[in-house]
Structure 1
Amino acid sequence: MGKKLVRKRKNIFIFLGLVLILVLGAFYFMQFPVKILIAENFPKQALGIKEFCLQNKDWRRCFGEQLAAFNKDHALKETLVILKEIQKIEPKVNDCHFIAHFISSSEVEKAPDKWLDVFNLVDQTTCNNGYIHGVMEGRARFDPDFEIKASVIPATCQAIEERINQRLGKTNGSDDACAHIMGHILLAEVGGNVDKAVQECSGVEKTYKISCYQGIFMENILRENLIVHEVAKPLPKTDDSARQIASICPTFEVDARGACYRELSHIYTLITNDPQRVYKYCQASPNKDEARECYFHALNLMVLSDKASDNDLAVYCQNFKGDDKNIKSCISRIIQPILGSSLSLITEASAFCQVQEGIYRDYCFQRIGQKIIATFLGIFLENTLTSSKEKFASKIFKQCSLRQDKETCYKDQFKVLTKDKDLFFSASVVKDIQKLDPQLRYCHNLAHVISIEEVSKNSSDWINLLSKVDIDACSRGYFHGIFEGHSRVDGNFTITSQSIDDLCSQISSNKIEPDKSAYLRNCVHALGHILLVQETADVKKAAQVCDGVSGNLKKYCYIGVFMENYQKTNLEAHGLSPSGYKITAEDLTKNEEICANFSGVAASACWQTMGEMYSHFYSDSQSIYNSCIKASTNKDTCYLNGVGSLSTSLANSINTKESDINFCQYYKDSEAKYKECINFIISYTLSTSEDFLNFIKYFCLEVDPEYKDFCKEKINLFKT
């Protein structure tokens, strides 16, 4: 009895000791970041979700809901790790499109204003475009200010592309997934009115338009967003439903009609997964190309369906026997969704190839090889770029693009690069980075820095540089910078009325029209900037030098002086203005008073530059217009230059509204002035960067109806 009691007490002490160890251990591990504990549990959590969801008939939805619930309390990065763990132990989860919907939508729900951050971790194409679909659906559900308009679609999609480009350090190319899901959400926003949604999409450029149409017609069938918004009930999976949906397709114009017939594949594959039946359904379109596209799109759905059968592998492309082009297209359209979902599904892709006949079996395996090579080549090229220029572009972009002081970073990096290479090498790197970072499309000040550094290396070659440099590049930034650089290294360089005429004539002497006149104007303009520095910021003295410049060229000298007086770029570099200068309301008043003291050509030039100054202080055309009507002369020139400058700023914004770009509304009473306004906006904006073409197309959408054709004609003239 005593021994038992001792043993029992001993066991109690052992138990209490273990409890104490566990408590102390728990306290100890609490000192470490929670992520350590979570990371150790990733495989266990993945296994738990797998076992739970595989018992569920709708396993995709189950995995999506489970991971979305996990994501609400964890970082997205951790949720993606869990998904990868699940994919390791359950290969069919590599078909993750629908699952990704839930994950990214839950991430948007956590912080609707940070939706773009999702693309810091995933691409548009990840999980066959699943994440971008979820992000846009999340914005529609959780962001009350999110409204889809023709101008919003490209701006939003470009913002996503840019964010991905920033992460990858290279141009990843545009993708149609963004505009497609916009079409889904748009139909819900307009209460399920297909005609109204199609009309809105028709205002988008073709790059995005067709994908937008496809999203509308797909939503009209699947109705996920319509149901969430209580706009419609689920569509019955019947032949009658299919006929009803198909009946609207002929009522639309070519692009929309083709999209309508293509998306019918969704109702057909909901009714059956039999390739032969689906092929017959798709013949609803009298147009052979539309019918074929309907079936090819259905292939994407059928091969990844739970209802897919190995018996169908030899049937998918059977209807194209004897048609070499179409049977190859059919094979490609099957390989793409399988391996596009995950390269781990190569076994499934190979099984399909194995049952193809003769030369088409070889072709099929070639397509698998090409897909794999393309994937790994992309990874290889990301680390091994094809030229030193691209390497520098990638390096500088990665160092600067996400920094708060991005502009300063770019200037510092290009100063070093130009010192090591030359102006022309740096200019080509700038062009490469502009593809990745649209904010660098306005590169005037950066071009100054590059030119100044180039001149400092070889000051005696500055005249030769002026004749070689692209005068229009970066809004004449390189050209201006060469003069600025020369004025810094040559203490004897003095600007007089005569030297302006002589020097600019010399530089343009070997040019032919219209380049010769452009070189003359820009040369005089650049010297006007430097002239104000020479005269220690005394506007009156600098203007007196401009008075003596010959003919109409004196106008450009004045503009250079007045522009420098508000920009202060060169004044700051010479210690004549505080660093980090920002325009204030008081500065506007001072410069207006300066303009009031001049007359004739000088007054006209002064008020022209005031327009641009207003645009840097205000952010709307109404305020610029109200300010310019106070001008003593050239009110319209003041406004047009101001709103031209504003348009280049808005072209880089993803939040631009239609009302923001109705620039010419103040000239409704004058056809001549309205057209002049349109022409000026197009010329000014596209001269700054041809990458702003999409923005200008949106501008044309907002002009009054009677001027829309004129606006489009002017765009085409500029492009030619």
Structure 2
Amino acid sequence: MQSAPTRIFRKMPKKYLKKWPAFLLLTLAVILVLTFLNRPPENKNQAPSSIFSDKSFTSYAQFAKQNGPQKAYQLLKENFPDNNPFAHDFAHVIGITAYEQNGPQGLGICDTAYNYGCYHGFIETFLVKKGIGAILEIEKNCSALGSVHAPSCLHGIGHGVLANRAYKLTEALEDCDIMQEKNRIYCWDGVFMERVTGSMQNAKDRVVITNETLFEPCNQIGGIYKGQCWRNQVTSWLTFFKRDTQEVGNMCLKIEKEHQATCFESIGLANVMWAQEDQIKLLNLCKILPNGNYSNECLIGELKELLFEGKSASIAQNLCNYVSRLAKQECLSTFNQQRDQSRARFGS
């Protein structure tokens, strides 16, 4: 039995059947136009819901410029209430916008959230706009923040000088060297971190390591810079080896012996970003020595990063139960020192 539409079409004159496709197209066009006209207007004061899940820094920067850095920072904190390190690069955007819209006074918008990301973005932009001659001015302002907050602020100078020097490593390190000797190490660390992250570069221009360049540039630079270079090279290795910490641990054993402890500790620092406060994951990620044992330095690195980010002090302290007997006292001493700094940083 034929359906009703089929019977209707059979009864229609052929001249109308020929016009049927055109009628359908016209109807569809009318529907599309009406849909477009009735679409609610775009609200520039409303950030796209996917802005953070898509890591759309460009969209977030546009929102910050249109609505101000304070509102954009509030939005960031609503979406990342637990000092999540993944928000660090978004906080850079706040610092950049704060300087562009408010000048030097914009620094007051920044705080310690997200590992000082706002400070880093502000300082990067300050140096790019005012030039290397402003380093000593920024150094003075950073030092005034006190012993707890100054190191992270000084670290931000390193990000800024490398960006200002168009990512020329040697020149940026030399810029750090005009600072007071006690402050240089933080600036060097920022330089090498910026080299890896390329926070002010286009994605296509960022450093990508290969099998042939796994040890560059750390195997080629001066000795005073090597420690901070290897510390940040770990980030590149973790990407290259798809977060296989055992492979990265093997790489640490291939560098100069005096820098191996720093290398293993850096693995621990990075682990916290991925494992957060999952103690079982944290422990497994540090079981990276050839004999299957935990790396003391890796566990202590996790302890430091947990407290630096204001995460669970009890989990941080418990990690000391898994270091070797000889390292136990060092671990507990580090915990006490870092816990005091964490309380000063977060006010609790």
TM-score after normalising by structure 2: 0.69
Residue number among 180, 183, 186 corresponding to 1:553 in the alignment: 183
Name structure 2 gaps, 5 residues minimum.
11-44
Cα pair distance change 1:657/1:508, threshold 3 Å: closer
- How far is 1:468 from its partner? 5.1
For 1:452, give the aligned amino acid: I
**Contact persistence 1:615–1:646 (CA under 8 A):** no
Confirm or deny that 1:614 pairs with 2:253: no
Could you say which residue in structure 1 is the equivalent of 2:284? 662
Q: Which residue of 1 aligns with 2:157?
A: 527
Q: Paired residue for 1:370?
A: none
Matches within 5 A, 1:634-649: 634-649=259-274
Q: Does 1:625 align with 2:260?
A: no
> Contact 1:500–1:524 (CA<8 Å) still a contact in 2?
no
Cα deviation digits, residues 199-223 of structure 1 (max 9, x gap): xxxxxxxxxxxxxxxxxxxxxxxxx
Query: Is the contact made by 2:88 and 2:115 (CA closer than 8 Å) also made in structure 1?
Result: yes
**Does the aligned pair in 2 maintain the 1:658–1:702 contact within 8 Å?**
no
- Alignment counterpart, residue 469 of structure 1, candidates 110, 114, 119: 110
Q: Using the alignment, how far apart are the partners of 1:657 and 1:714 within structure 2? A: 16
Alignment of 1:568-587 (within 5 A): 568-570=198-200, 572=201, 578=204, 581=206, 583-586=208-211
Q: 1:664 to 1:494 in 2, by over 3 A?
A: same
Contact 2:162-2:172 at 8 Å conserved across structures: yes
User: Pick from 495, 507, 517: which aligns with 2:132?
Assistant: 495
Instruction: State the shift of 1:651 in Å.
Output: 3.0
Q: How many residues are matched?
A: 299
Counterparts in 2 of 1:705 and 1:626: CA distance versus 1, 3 Å = closer
Task: After superposition, give the CA deviation of every residue in 1:294-313 in whole Å (9 maximum; x if it has no partner).
Answer: xxxxxxxxxxxxxxxxxxxx
For residue 147 of structure 2, give the secondary structure of its aligned residue in structure 1: helix
2:70 paired residue number: 424
- How many Å apart are 1:658 and its aligned residue? 4.3
Distance 1:519 1:626 in 2: 34
Alignment of 1:187-586 (within 5 A): 396=47, 398-400=49-51, 406-408=54-56, 411-435=57-81, 441-458=85-102, 461-462=103-104, 464-467=105-108, 469-470=110-111, 472-488=112-128, 490=129, 493-495=130-132, 499-509=134-144, 511=145, 516-570=146-200, 572=201, 578=204, 581=206, 583-586=208-211
Quick check: 2:136–2:179 contact (8 Å CA) kept in 1?
yes
| Cα distance in 2, alignment partners of residues 430 and 657 from structure 1 | 27
Report deviation, 1:419: 2.3
Report how far residue 684 of structure 1 moved: 0.9
Give the secondary-structure state (helix, strand or coil) at the position aligned to 1:626. Answer: helix
Task: Please report how far the alpha carbon of residue 664 of structure 1 lies from its aligned counterpart in structure 2 after TM superposition.
Answer: 4.1
CA distance in 2, matches of 1:550, 1:680: 27
| SS state at 1:541 partner | helix
1:441–1:474: 8 Å Cα contact kept in structure 2?
yes
Native 8 Å contact 1:441 1:689 kept in 2 = no
Distance 2:138 2:3 in 1: 87
Root mean square deviation, CA, Å: 4.3
Instruction: Quote the Cα distance in structure 1 between the aligned partners of 2:183 and 2:298.
Output: 24
Deviations 1:65-84 (A, max 9, x none): xxxxxxxxxxxxxxxxxxxx
Q: Tell me: higher relative CO, structure 1 or 2? Use CA pairs within 8 A at least 6 residues apart.
A: 2
Give the whole-Å Cα distance in 1 for the aligned partners of 2:66 and 2:96: 14
Conservation of the 8 A alpha-carbon contact between 1:504 and 1:524: yes
Which residue does 1:603 correspond to in 2? 226
State the one-letter code of the partner of 2:80: Q
Native 8 Å contact 1:466 1:507 kept in 2:
no
SS in 2 for 1:449: helix
- Secondary structure class of the residue paired with 1:598: coil
C-alpha displacement at 1:529, in angstroms?
1.9
CA offset at residue 650 of structure 1? Answer: 3.1
Equivalent runs, 1:93-242 vs 2, <5 Å: none
SS at match of 2:216: helix
Aligned-residue identity in percent:
19
SS of the residue 1:595 aligns to: coil
| SS at structure 1 position matched to 2:217 | helix
Is the 8 Å Cα contact of residues 443 and 475 (structure 1) preserved in structure 2? no
* Amino acid across the alignment from 1:447: A
Q: How does the TM-score come out when normalised to structure 1?
A: 0.36
Q: Which of 660, 684, 695 is 2:305 aligned to?
A: 684
Measured in 2, the distance between the counterparts of 1:457 and 1:508 equals 24
Larger-Rg structure: 1
